[in-house]
Amino acid sequence: MHTLSVSLIQTALFWEDKQRNLSMLEDKILGITEHTNLVILPEMFSTGFSMKPSLYAEKMDGETIAWMKRIAAVKKIILTGSLIIKEDGNYYNRLIWMLPNGSFGFYDKRHLFAFAGEDQFYTAGNKRLVTSVNGWKVNLQICYDLRFPVWARQQSKESPEYDLLIYVANWPERRNHAWKTLLTARAIENQCYVIGVNRVGADGNQINHSGDSMLIDPLGNIVFNKEHEELVYSFELTKEPLMEVRNKFPFWKDADNFHIIEDQQND
């Protein structure tokens, strides 16, 4: 069966300093010596979790998208992470799934973090992004989405909709118990691998982040978890354990049928 090689980057971010962040991340990505198919960056990797989109938003033909295209082509990887995008007069916390050939998909964060005022500055997305690589189906989500299990729930009873669920985040250390617990729950209930990639260090609001980036298997076992350290962690996922869990414990077949009704304001 196909394998999937993944590298996650857990790092501190320079507050609202795009140039320093892109330079730092480029050094880390180009420094990866292992073969990798996919490199995952944190949420708002070019700025940190900023509520100043009018100052730091870019368009889809802007510098950071061009940077992602160049890095993905040079390293022959898929590169993913979220940044601030302006489109049609709205601001989005948008995750980009950049392919080596310059093609890309994107996902706009569905659940905006009202506690920090994100909903006052950004527009919520209304469509999930489930994409594929090397025979793996991948569901891509952002930070606060983690608290809403329906948005991540497998939606097909014919076969599981995806194999890997990824969350990119700027999740505060003070709530890291919830982060670790919910990532584990998403793996168990969806019978999939889950990867959470979070930043470390204090942001411009003096909110500290412990990282706690994680890889969790379909049974909810924590394969990798590291707190506080800046690191690049590379690993290989194989389909056999995933298929064995789903075949031995076919709980996914008994899931409730449901349909997500979109908000009219987002249509």
Mean pLDDT, 10 residues at a time, over the chain (267 residues)?
Answer: 93 98 98 97 98 98 98 98 98 98 98 97 97 96 98 87 98 98 98 98 98 98 98 97 94 84 53
Quick one: pLDDT at residue 258?
A: 81
- Cβ neighbours of residue 105 closer than 8 Å, sequence gap 6 or more: 96, 97, 129, 131
Single out the catalytic residue among 16, 18, 58, 109.
109
Residue 253's pLDDT is: 86
* 43 included as an active-site residue: yes
Q: Which of 16, 43, 118, 173 is catalytic?
A: 43
Give dist(CA 35, CA 175) in Å, integer.
34
The per-residue pLDDT for 30 is 98
Quick one: pLDDT at residue 264?
45
* C-alpha–C-alpha distance, residues 156 and 146, integer Å: 20
Q: Is 81 left (phi over 0), alpha (psi -120 to 50) or beta?
A: left
pLDDT of residue 267: 36
Distance CA 153, CA 199 (A): 25
* CA separation for the pair 87, 106 (Å, rounded): 13
Q: Is 192 a catalytic residue?
A: no
Token pair in block for residue 126: 């209304």
Provide the 10 A C-beta neighbour count for residue 20. Answer: 13
Count of other CB atoms within 10 angstroms of residue 56: 20
Q: What's the distance, CA 103 to chain centroid?
A: 18
Please tell me the predicted confidence (pLDDT) of residue 266. 43
- The domain defined by 3-254 carries CATH number 3.40.1120.10: no
Amino acid at 97: W
Least Cα distance to 198 among 23, 90, 40 occurs for: 40
